[in-house]
Amino acid sequence: MREEITKTTANSVDSAHDIRETVKRTARFGYIAMIFAGVSIITNISYGNLLSAALVAGLLVCLFVIVIMNFKGWFKAAKAFTLISINSFLTVIAFSEGLRSGGYLFFIPLLTVLPYLIDNHERYLEELSAYLAITIACFCACIFYCPEVSIWQEISEDIYARMFLNNSLSVILISASFAILGLFMERRYVETIIRQKKKTEEAAQARSRFLSNMGHELRTPLNGIIGVSNLLEKEQSLPHQEEYLNILKYCSDHMLRLVNDILDFNKIEAGKLNLHPTDFNLKTLLEKSTLPFYNHFEEKNLQLKIAVDSALNVVVHHDDLRMVQILNNILANALKFTEKGYVELKASVINKTQQSVTVHFRIKDTGIGIAPEDQQRIFDSFWQAGTHSNSTRRFGGTGLGLTISQRLLQLMNSGLNVNSTKNVGTEFSFTIDFALSKNAAKATDLNDEYNDLRDYRILIAEDNIINMMIAKKMLEDWKAEVVTAENGAIAIDILKADSNFDIILLDLEMPEVDGYTAIKEIRKLYPEIPAIAFTAALLDNEMLQNLIKMGFVDCALKPFIPQELLFKIKNATASRLAASVSSIAD
């Protein structure tokens, strides 16, 4: 309801602006026409054409009345009066003077100026067509029915010659004046549009900066909450504490999804939502993508069915995080709107070559369904089924999940299809072409026996005490040796004293020496040690490429998922890992 009121208000403001501009345009064109009418009155009096002078004087009065009516706010009446009075006077004047005077030529500037005298609205073209049709009809009536010479007043041959010349010149001058005024107004209009566009862009940039800063500020404490809940999950707890822990984890994960949705939507509007391909096992990713939902399905007593084609046990080169985001958004949507029955995720191969594999995904539920008229609206931003038909919200969320999923699929040269029946269920489907990895050995399988970081020495530079504690505890749980630094300067000093590290984790925002500055120095002194950037900002392709150019091998977002951080560390140190596996095998 609020959106509709806002939209109506905006339309009203635009309409009022258009009407004011039309009033200004009408007044300007009216002033020019009145000047030429005044000159015509004097000319006709000098020729002795008193009837023509009187008729032009009547036209002059009408032009003055039209201007007054517009300024008084009588817009509809003014438009009708303009059409009737000007066409009537031009027609009568043409008949009073005869064709040889050339008076009918004044319909030409009238035809050119009519588009400027109508305010912009939904029926603009219809109204303009009607005005033009009436004017053209009057013009044709003069051409076909007007006598050669006047039967209302006596005009000599010499006067006719001078009248035709004067009228022709007047038509040329008034048309040129109207054209110049039209160009002047169009130029001002374009300048206004450019200024408004600049203001809009500045406002959008300010909003992007605000959301980015707020996203950073929200994600930083969320990293502590989610990190601690992940650590507590590994430890033994009492039954009632486990329930509280599940609530904590659910709320923090939900909060993170909301923040990410808002920031992702901001990227969509800014055109900065991009993909970051990496190598991963597709079957493993699909099976792991459903893990966060099992508890929620059990709470609602719903069945979660998973059917992944065994042929998908391949390593592909694609954006794994965005794939998980798409699946999670659709699964979360299905879970939200399903009260009984099941939700099914099915992935099947429809084509496979040596270079790629084409996969069809289907997520089916037995939920409330979507009415046929709403099945395209679900992809609109902030729209949810049920939120417009009821006065209160039954379902949570931002209403951005499907919008973001659709945009991500478009980046993957695909699209989200929906097939739904009200009160029966909904089926979402899409197809993606995955490029098979050229270096399958590089993709790390996190299910194997080397799912730890034993014998790794890791240097962490992080100024936030909570984030440092969480990262250090996670890495130590994976049996890594961890050395910490509060900022980039301390990290560089540690490396100068002992550079025997397998990888460096650098926070980007730190006092004294930040991660951006530290990586430049580290690359000069220790180019062989890989470094991963830590950031709470929402990553885009431009930022990732800039970080790689600086010397980072990858970027880990905060709040980080433990297995995802492990995956990135393993991939960044793939050559060392391969050597380690080889030595163990020997």
Q: Please state the rounded mean pLDDT for residues 370-399.
A: 57
Residue 48 zone, left/alpha/beta (φ > 0; ψ -120 to 50; rest): left
Residue 378 lies in a domain: yes
* Ordered alpha helix ranges (H), 453-506: 465-477, 488-497
Q: Please state the rounded mean pLDDT for residues 174-181.
A: 83
Residue 433 lies in a domain: yes
Pairing of strands 554-557, 503-507: unpaired
Residue 102, helix vs strand vs coil: coil
Q: What is the pLDDT of residue 220?
A: 75
- 342 forms beta bridges with 303
Half-sphere exposure of 380 (CA within 13 A, CB side): 10
Q: What is the pLDDT of residue 154?
A: 84
Mean of the per-residue pLDDT values of the chain: 80
Nearest to 226 by CA among 572, 564, 485: 564
Domain CATH for 427: 3.30.565.10
Each residue of 559-580: pLDDT tens digit?
A: 777 777 888 888 888 755 554 4
Q: Is 71 in the same domain as 155?
A: yes
Q: Is 392 in the same domain as 420?
A: yes
Q: Give yes or no for residue 2 having a pLDDT over 60.
A: no
Q: What is the pLDDT of residue 7?
A: 40
Q: Please state the rounded mean pLDDT for residues 362-383.
A: 78
Each residue of 470-487: pLDDT tens digit?
A: 889 889 988 999 999 999
Domain ends where: 176, 200, 224? 200
Q: What is the pLDDT of residue 564?
A: 78
Q: Please state the rounded mean pLDDT for residues 1-17.
A: 41
Q: Is 420 in the same domain as 467?
A: no
Percent of the chain with pLDDT over 90: 20
Q: What is the pLDDT of residue 404?
A: 85
Each residue of 286-344: pLDDT tens digit?
A: 888 887 787 778 888 899 999 999 899 999 999 887 898 899 889 988 888 898 999 99
Pseudo-torsion of CA 437, 439, 441, 444, nearest 10°?
A: -60
Q: Is 393 in the same domain as 420?
A: yes
Q: What is the pLDDT of residue 544?
A: 79
* Single-letter amino acid code for the residue at 15: S
Q: What residues have CB less than 8 Å from 112, skipping those under 6 apart?
A: 175, 178, 179, 182
> What is the band of 12 on the pLDDT scale with cuts at 50, 70, 90?
very low
Domains identified in the chain, total number: 3
Residue 447 lies in a domain: no
Domain CATH for 485: 3.40.50.2300
Residue 261 lies in a domain: no
Q: What is the pLDDT of residue 49?
A: 83
Count of beta carbons in the 10 Å neighbourhood of residue 457: 14
Q: Is 119 in the same domain as 171?
A: yes
0.85 exceeded by the pTM? no
Q: Is 10 in the same domain as 65?
A: yes
Q: Give yes or no for residue 84 having a pLDDT over 60.
A: yes
Q: Give yes or no for residue 399 having a pLDDT over 70.
A: no
Q: Give yes or no for residue 73 having a pLDDT over 80.
A: no
Distances (CA, A) of 134 to 61, 116, 127, 575: 22, 16, 11, 82
Residue 296 lies in a domain: yes
Q: Please state the rounded mean pLDDT for residues 543-552.
A: 87
More confident residue, 433 or 466: 433
Distance CA 497, CA 308 (A): 51
Distance CA 374, CA 383 (A): 10
Axis-axis angle for helices 75-97, 50-72 (nearest 10)? 170
Q: Is 292 in the same domain as 324?
A: yes
Q: What residues have CB less than 8 Å from 374, skipping those under 6 apart?
A: 385
Each residue of 205-264: pLDDT tens digit?
A: 777 677 667 766 777 777 778 777 777 777 777 777 777 777 777 677 777 777 777 777
Each residue of 473-532: pLDDT tens digit?
A: 889 988 999 999 999 999 999 999 999 999 999 998 888 899 999 999 999 999 999 999
Q: What is the pLDDT of residue 446?
A: 47
Q: Is 494 in the same domain as 573?
A: yes
- 419 forms beta bridges with 427
Q: Please state the rounded mean pLDDT for residues 178-206.
A: 81
More confident residue, 219 or 358: 358
Domain around 465? 457-585
Q: Is 424 in the same domain as 483?
A: no
Poorest-pLDDT segment among 6-20, 300-314, 358-372: 6-20
Q: Please state the rounded mean pLDDT for residues 343-369.
A: 93
Q: Is 83 in the same domain as 165?
A: yes
Residue 9 lies in a domain: yes
Given a contact cutoff of 8 angstroms between Cβ atoms, the answer to whether 572 and 278 are in contact is: no
Q: Is 366 in the same domain as 506?
A: no
Distance CA 320, CA 284 (A): 11
The single-letter DSSP state of residue 271 is T
DSSP, residue by residue, 370-387: --GGGTTGGGSTT--TTT
Q: What is the pLDDT of residue 560?
A: 76
Q: Provide the sign of the torsion angle of the four alpha carbons 376, 378, 381, 385, taken in this order.
A: positive
Residue 121, helix vs strand vs coil: coil
Each residue of 104-118: pLDDT tens digit?
A: 888 888 888 877 777
Q: What residues have CB less than 8 Å from 246, skipping those under 6 apart?
A: 295
Distance CA 381, CA 478 (A): 41
Q: What is the pLDDT of residue 357?
A: 94
Residue 236 lies in a domain: no
Q: Is 427 in the same domain as 481?
A: no
Residue 561 lies in a domain: yes
Each residue of 434-457: pLDDT tens digit?
A: 999 876 554 444 444 456 888 899
